[in-house]
Amino acid sequence: MPRSKKDVPRKRKSAARKTRVKVKPATASKPQALKKSAKSAGASRAEGIRLFKLAGRPTREQFILVLGERGPKMTWSQRATAGVPANKFQAALAAKQSGRKDAKPSIPPLTVKD
């Protein structure tokens, strides 16, 4: 396009401008709950990780065994409400596993021969 015609208004409207839909202004909706700030979310996550370590780093299958199908999806406060806090998780797991103490270890204990 030559320079002299850059500033001249167009005579025809493009198809995109013809079909443009006017957007209604946003209406006042319900007030949404405030999201946690990055610092408080990080603190909550750190607390969850701390409790996970305290519980002995249980696997998904162990959560299901102790707490049922919803176990892995629960938060630690929900698990505590269900009766299994993080510090008692291993005891609850031992109670749920049948014959755990009677089972033979997969690796025999080391013995020193004199």
Domain ranges, residue 90: 59-98
Domains in the chain, number? 1
- 63, part of any domain: yes
How many Å apart are CA 49 and CA 45, to the nearest integer? Answer: 6
- 34, part of any domain: no
- 33, part of any domain: no
Dihedral class, residue 26 (left if φ above 0, else alpha if ψ from -120 to 50, else beta): beta
- 74, part of any domain: yes
1-55 pLDDT, tens digit per residue, is: 566 666 666 677 777 766 776 766 666 666 666 666 778 889 999 999 999 999 9
- 27, part of any domain: no
Supply the pLDDT for residue 29: 65
- 87, part of any domain: yes
How many Å apart are CA 70 and CA 40, to the nearest integer? Answer: 25
Supply the pLDDT for residue 59: 94
Supply the pLDDT for residue 23: 67
The answer, yes or no, to whether residue 58 has pLDDT greater than 60, is yes
| Mean pLDDT score, 66-85 | 93
Q: DSSP secondary structure string, 61-92?
A: HHHHHHH-TTGGGS-HHHHHHTT--GGGHHHH
